Amino acid sequence: MTLFWCHSAVALSTNSSSSNTDLKSLQAQIEAQKAQLQRVELQLEQQALRLDQEELMLNQQLKDTQLNKLHGRGTTGDSTATPVQTAADQQPAPSTQPSTQSADGKTSIQGPTPSQQQTRTVLQTDTSLSSNGGVLTPRGHIIIDPSFEYDYYSYNQLAVNGFTIIPGLTFGNIYVERVQQNVGTFAVTGRWGVTNRLELNIKVPVVAEYGITTTQAVGPNALALTPSANNVNIGDIQLGASYQFNRGDSGMPIFIGNLIYKTATGISPYDVPIYTVEDPNGQYLSGIQKRLPTGTGFNALEPSVTILYPTDPGVLFANIQYIYNFGSTVNLQNPAGGPTIRTDLKPGNAIAATFGFGFALNEHTSMTLSYEQEHVFTASQDGSSINGSAYDFGEFNFGIGYQVNRRTSVNLGVSVGAGPNAPVAKILLDIPINFNLL
C-alpha cells in the first residue's frame, strides 16, 4: 500500500507541473496575438485617417476646380505670400486657404481661393487703380501693358478786359471764350514681379493733343476767332513700386502700398509760345497757347495705399493718394509782349480718394464701378499763395474686362467728370500681356 501511494503522488505532481507549463504557454500566445491585433488595429486606424484626409483634399480640389471653371481660372499653388495679381498671370500664388496634413506628415498648401483669383481679374478693369497701383505682378513675371487714353476737356468762360465805373457799365473789351481740348495718350507700361509681394513698374507715354479756342467779343458785329493748337511729343515718364503688406488672413482686408515718381520729361506749359497783344487780334487772344504742352512741367511724388476686401462674388476696394508737387523756377511769358519773367512756382499738392466695387459677370468678363474725388491745394509763387488756385473735381469710373486667354486680357474703362475742372469724358483701353520668366 505504501508503494502504491508513493507512485500516485509522483504522477499527480508531474501532471500538475505539465498543466502549469501549458497554461503559461497559452497565455503567452494569447498576449502575443493580442499585441498583434492591437498593431493591426492601429495600422487600420492610420489608414482610415489617411483616407479621410485624402477624401477631404479631393473634395476641396473638386470644389475649387468647379468654381475655377466657372470663373475661367486655374488652381496652381505657390509657397509664398499671396499677392493680388493681374488676371493674365493665371499661375496663382499661395492663398489664405488653410493647409492640410498629408499622409507622410508633411504640410501641403492648397491653391488660392476662387475669391482671390476673382480679385486679380476684377481689379485691373478699374481706371483709377490702373494708374495709382494695386494690382500686383507675380514673382518672375513681366507684364507689358500697351494702352491708349483719350481725354476730352471743354469749358466756357466770360472774360473782361477793361474797367467798370458803376455796376452794369463796363468800358473796354468783353468777350466770351470756349475751350475744347482733345488729348490722346499712347503709353507702354512695364511691370516686373520681383517677389510675390513687390512689384516695380515704369510707364512711358507719348501725348498727342489738339485744341480749339473760340473767342468772341460781345456785340452785334463781332466776329468769332478760333485759333487752334496741337502737339505730339513724349509725356511725363513715371517710375513706381507696389508692396503688399499682409496676406489678408482671418477676414482682414489686403493692404498694398504704392509709390510713384512722376518726372517732368514732357514739354512744360511754360515752354510753349503764346499769343501776345502784338499778334493780330492780340487783344482777344493774348495768353492763349500757340502749341500745347505734353507734360506738367513739375516733378511729383505720389504715395498711396490700396485696400482690397474680397467678398464673394466680388471685391470691394479703395485707394487713398497724396500728390506732392516739387516747385521749380520757370520763365513766365508776358502776354503784353515783353520779356519773360523768371519766377519760382510750386503747384498745389493734392489728396485723392477712390472707392468702388467689382465682380465677375461670367468666366471671361468682369466689371468695376468706382468714384474718385480729388482736392488740389493752393499753389504758390515766390513763396506767396496764389488766390483762387485751389480747386476740386471728381470722376465716375466704369470698367469692363475680357480675358482673351491665360496670358492676355482686354480692359476698357470710361470716366465721366464731375465738376468744371474735371475732363468731360475719359476712355482708357489697355491690353496687358503676361510673360512668365520662371
| Tens digit of each residue's pLDDT (9 = 90 or more) over 65-86 | 655 554 444 434 343 444 444 3
* Shared-domain flag, residues 258 and 351: yes
Question: What single string gives the DSSP state of each residue in 342-375?
Answer: EEEEEPPPEEEEEEEEEEESSSSEEEEEEEEEEE
pTM (predicted TM-score): 0.70
pLDDT (average), residues 252-276: 93
* Shared-domain flag, residues 266 and 344: yes
Length of the chain: 438
Q: Is residue 398's pLDDT more than 80?
A: yes
* Shared-domain flag, residues 383 and 263: yes
pLDDT at residue 390 in the model: 92
* Shared-domain flag, residues 62 and 143: no
- The dihedral sign for the CA sequence 81, 85, 90, 95: positive
* Shared-domain flag, residues 35 and 129: no
Using DSSP, state whether 135 is helix, strand or coil. coil
pLDDT (average), residues 310-334: 89
pLDDT (average), residues 297-325: 91
* Shared-domain flag, residues 252 and 143: yes
* Shared-domain flag, residues 268 and 401: yes
* Shared-domain flag, residues 410 and 268: yes
Is there a domain that residue 185 lies in? yes
User: Angle at the Cα of 48 (from 42 to 49), degrees rounded to 5?
Assistant: 90
Name the residue range of residue 60's domain: 1-71
Residue 407 is classified by DSSP as S
Structure-model confidence comparison of residues 97 and 141, the more confident one: 141
Structure-model confidence comparison of residues 74 and 188, the more confident one: 188
Is there a domain that residue 250 lies in? yes
Domain total of the chain? 2
Is there a domain that residue 306 lies in? yes
Looking at residue 120, its amino acid is R
Please choose, from the candidates 237, 261, 239, 359, the residue with its C-alpha nearest in 3D space to the C-alpha of residue 310. Answer: 359
Instruction: Give whole-number Cα distances, 391 to 67, 295, 342, 374, 419, in Å.
Output: 47, 20, 25, 9, 10
Q: Using 50, 70 and 90 to split pLDDT, how confident is the model at 174?
A: low
Q: What is the CATH number of the domain that holds 306?
A: 2.40.160.40
Is there a domain that residue 217 lies in? no
Backbone angles phi, psi at 65, to 5 degrees: -65, -40
pLDDT at residue 322 in the model: 97
Grid cell 471728381 in the structure block, residue: 394
Q: Is 246 exposed, middle or buried (0-12, 13-18, 19+ CB in 10 A)?
A: middle
Please say whether the beta carbons of 326 and 302 come within 8 A: no
Domain end call among 71, 106, 129: 71
Structure-model confidence comparison of residues 182 and 80, the more confident one: 182
Please say whether the beta carbons of 317 and 306 come within 8 A: yes
| Tens digit of each residue's pLDDT (9 = 90 or more) over 4-13 | 444 444 454 5
* Shared-domain flag, residues 330 and 249: yes
Q: Is residue 2's pLDDT more than 50?
A: no
Backbone angles phi, psi at 315, to 5 degrees: -150, 135
* Shared-domain flag, residues 67 and 123: no
Domain end call among 71, 87, 103: 71
Domain end call among 71, 99, 125: 71
Is there a domain that residue 82 lies in? no
Please choose, from the candidates 370, 374, 368, the residue with its C-alpha nearest in 3D space to the C-alpha of residue 355. Answer: 370
- The dihedral sign for the CA sequence 64, 66, 70, 72: positive
Instruction: Give whole-number Cα distances, 266 to 146, 234, 410, in Å.
Output: 19, 5, 28
* Shared-domain flag, residues 14 and 139: no
* Window from 21-25, 26-30, 111-115, 233-237 with minimum mean pLDDT: 111-115
pLDDT at residue 55 in the model: 77
User: What would the grid cell of residue 354 be?
Assistant: 477712390
Q: Is residue 48's pLDDT more than 70?
A: yes
Using DSSP, state whether 347 is helix, strand or coil. coil
* Shared-domain flag, residues 18 and 150: no
